[in-house]
Amino acid sequence: MSDAVPGHGGYTVADYFDLVRRGVLAEDDRVELLDGVIVAEPPMDPPHATGIARATRAIERAVGEQAAVRAQSPFIASPFSAPEPDVAVVPGALDDYEHAHPSVALLVIEVSASSLQQDRLSKSRIYAGAGVPEFWIVNLRDACVEVFRAPDVGQRVYTERSVARVGDVLSVIAFPDAVIAVDDLLPA
């Protein structure tokens, strides 16, 4: 394991993927690296799984071929963080990531119920620190989409936050013509 860095746990992204390579972690283990700490993800219940499918479908329709849409795949946010966002819109095409995970994202979406606090606190800081221009939380508890924009990379915070509800429409900053109805992201 690499030397710990102040403010981070002990694992780097290289350490983390080395654990997978050596078979200590399996590729299908439900874990992710957040600020140097390997964090277990809770089992996925049907509303969460369906929420991911809804978000993926809505984003793919809206973005089309303008970018790649990845679901539950690693995003290298920093040398100490490799979260697996539920949906990520990344530059280029899917084939561009055949040999390396993306380290730039245009939009990241987390579908949340039991993970709501972690997504608001830990993951928002990780995504803001990585300079992701916008981060959406599909909040299944409160039937809304929390929209975080304008990251302050140095402070690792988003400076703008809004809430979109059923009937509202969201556009993706990177693709203003990519419009998504909140109704398409939330359960019926």
CATH value at residue 52: 3.90.1570.10
Give me the numbers of helices (H) and strands (E) for the chain, helices first please. 4, 10
- pLDDT for 2 beyond 50: no
Decide if 66 is inside a domain.
yes
Q: For 161-169, what is the mean pLDDT? A: 97
> How many domains, the chain?
1
Residue 32, pLDDT score: 92
Positive or negative, the Cα torsion across 148, 152, 153, 156?
A: negative
Residue-wise pLDDT for 4-33, tens only, equals 444 555 899 999 999 989 989 887 888 999
Decide if 78 is inside a domain.
yes
- Of 6 and 128, which is predicted with more confidence? 128
From CA 101, how far away is CA 121, in angstroms rounded?
Answer: 24
Q: For 118-129, what is the mean pLDDT? A: 95
From CA 38, how far away is CA 85, in angstroms rounded?
Answer: 15
Residue 5, pLDDT score: 44
From CA 120, how far away is CA 139, in angstroms rounded?
Answer: 10
Domain limits for position 97: 44-184
Q: For 41-54, what is the mean pLDDT? A: 90
Decide if 25 is inside a domain.
no
Whole-number percent of the chain with pLDDT over 70: 95
Q: Which SS3 state, helix, strand or coil, does residue 148 take?
A: strand
Across the chain, mean pLDDT equals 92
Cα–Cα distances in angstroms (integers) from residue 6 to residues 11, 38, 78, 156, in the given order: 12, 16, 14, 15
Decide if 165 is inside a domain.
yes
Decide if 19 is inside a domain.
no
Residue 43, pLDDT score: 82
Q: For 159-184, what is the mean pLDDT? A: 96
Task: Give, for 161, the enclosing helix (H) or strand (E).
Answer: strand 157-165
